[in-house]
């Protein structure tokens, strides 16, 4: 029942020296308040395809992604599924918990991931004393909204070839290298609203034409200029 049952976790994270602190939720917090974090925040590790939470679970915490990739999946009544968002390190998810609502997606690790589990009680307590936290939360909410709009315009519009090209461009840095492995075709399809076969064919075609190539076991590189041309068509 509990989505967390199979997770590995440990308490006592060193939040004050967190490498993400500057980018993280509590960036504006006074040092003395960090003691509160110490007790409450848990470290979570997920293997590929492990679930963080599921649609309808009671929302008791928000999560910051520290490493890896997380997908948010939504389902239609008929059972078909769509990946509506991808979380990268420093992103925050499960915000609906702060409004007392159950989670609205399945959150699943795309690759091995590490996260911080932040109980909503803690957020509420700190928020009462730190108005800047609210500002920061709104900023996160807005980030998520912008990301959703991007998915609508970039990944749900145009031909399948354009969508795949746009997705690759977004995964890669501007120099054409990417630090993450290529998604499997099924996930790609669920992100782009196409079938796995079409995704597979297009990736294979791009590889043949030298637009992308494997670079090591957990990464790929691509030709941004050519991909951009394909994306614009």
Q: Which residues bind a second copy (CB under 8 A)?
A: 74-78, 80, 82, 84-85, 95-96, 98-99, 101, 104-105, 128, 131, 134-135, 137-139, 141-142, 144-146, 148-149, 151-154, 156-158, 193, 232-233
Report what 201 binds from a second copy, DNA, none; CB cut-off 5-8 Å by kind. DNA
Determine the Cα–Cα distance for residues 27 and 21; give it in Å rounded to an integer: 6
221 contributes a contact to DNA by CB under 7 A: no
Return the number of the residue (17 or 80) whose C-beta is nearest DNA: 80
Name the minimum Å distance from CB 112 to a second copy: 26
Token look-up 């050519």 returns 226
> Between 25 and 194, whose beta carbon lies closer to DNA?
194
Q: Which of 135, 153, 195, 209 binds DNA (CB under 7 A)?
A: 195
Q: Contact between 157 and DNA (CB under 7 A)?
A: no
- 82 is an interface residue for DNA by CB under 7 A: no
Tokens of residue 122, six digits: 């803690």
Dist CA 175 CA 219 (whole Å)? 14
Rounded to 5°, the CA angle 87-91-95 comes to 95
Residue 67 backbone phi and psi in degrees, to 5: -155, 160
Beta bridge partners of 138: none
Q: Give the SS3 label for residue 165.
A: helix
């Amino acid at each position: 029942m509990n989505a967390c049952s199979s997770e590995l976790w440990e308490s006592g994270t060193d939040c004050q020296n967190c490498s993400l602190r500057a980018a993280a939720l509590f960036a504006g917090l006074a040092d003395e308040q960090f003691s509160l974090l110490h007790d409450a925040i848990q470290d979570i590790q997920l293997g590929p395809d492990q679930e963080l939470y599921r649609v309808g679970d009671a929302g008791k915490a928000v999560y910051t992604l520290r490493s890896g990739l997380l997908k948010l999946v939504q389902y239609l009544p008929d059972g078909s599924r769509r990946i509506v968002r991808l979380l990268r390190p420093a992103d925050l998810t499960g915000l609906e918990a702060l409004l007392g609502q159950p989670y609205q997606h399945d959150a699943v690790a795309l690759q091995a991931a590490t996260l911080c589990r932040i109980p909503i009680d803690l957020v509420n307590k700190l928020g009462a004393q730190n108005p800047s936290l609210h500002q920061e939360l709104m900023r996160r909410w807005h980030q998520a909204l912008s990301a959703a709009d991007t998915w609508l315009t970039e990944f749900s519009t145009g031909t399948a070839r354009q969508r795949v090209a746009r997705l690759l461009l977004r995964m890669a840095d501007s120099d054409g290298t990417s630090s993450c492995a290529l998604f499997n075709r099924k996930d790609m399809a669920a992100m782009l609203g196409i079938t796995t076969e079409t995704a597979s064919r297009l990736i294979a075609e791009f590889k043949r034409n030298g637009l992308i190539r494997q670079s090591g076991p957990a990464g790929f590189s691509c030709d941004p200029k050519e991909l951009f041309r394909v994306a614009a068509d």
